[in-house]
Amino acid sequence: IERTLSIIKPDATNRNLTGKINAKFEDAGLRIVAQKRIKLSMEQAGKFYEVHKERPFYGELCEFMASAPVVVQVLEGENAIAKNREVMGATNPANADAGTIRKEFALSVGENSVHGSDAAETAAQEIAFFFSGLELVG
Ligand code: GTP
Ligand code: MG
């Protein structure tokens, strides 16, 4: 059993889509084992997305992520990391498969509704970034 870090981004929380997105995760067999709604500062967003700091969209990405509350969550299931990325769909909603979260809800490549960890190592780092041990029950 595996865990991954998911973020429901500001474009989705602004449009009140948290429940509809969570239903997609649950329908795919992913269990939401931790969840909280928080507002990131620019500094926190910058730290979370540090791997992208040389990319041209870094500033825009951090401003977007700090623009409104996000819902951070831990999803659990068999192959949760890969399964979540399948449910999310391609980064750019124009390239996302039918039925995916990004195809149904994303507005653009930047405002693309969800984040999901991309590997076991980053999942562990990203979960620890947002959740303490006490918030993660078995
Ligand atoms: P994440 O799960 O969010 O990491 O998405 P990803 O792995 O599908 O995409 P990637 O890691 O390449 O990029 C991280 C995030 O940066 C994306 O989810 C987008 O929100 C944003 N992003 C990527 N490319 C662009 C772009 O060309 N323009 C803008 N504004 N944002 C981008
Ligand atoms: Mg990524």
* Ligand 1: residue whose CA is nearest its atom 31: 110
Mean of the per-residue pLDDT values of the chain: 98
Q: Which ligand neighbours the alpha carbon of 5 most closely? A: 1
Three-state DSSP at 71 gives: strand
Ramachandran sector of residue 105 (left: φ over 0; alpha: ψ -120 to 50; beta: rest): alpha
**Alpha carbon separation from 20 to 10, 43, 51, 105 (Å, rounded):** 15, 29, 29, 10
Mean pLDDT of 16-44: 98
In whole angstroms, give the CA distance from residue 118 to residue 5.
Answer: 9
Kindly indicate whether the ipTM for this predicted assembly is greater than 0.85, answering yes or no.
yes
* Ligand 1: residue whose CA is nearest its atom 4: 115
Q: Which two tokens stand for residue 98?
A: 């039918």
Tens digits of residue pLDDT in 106-122: 999 999 999 999 999 99
- What local confidence, expressed as pLDDT, does residue 53 receive? 96
Q: Is the CB of 60 under 6 A from ligand 1?
A: yes
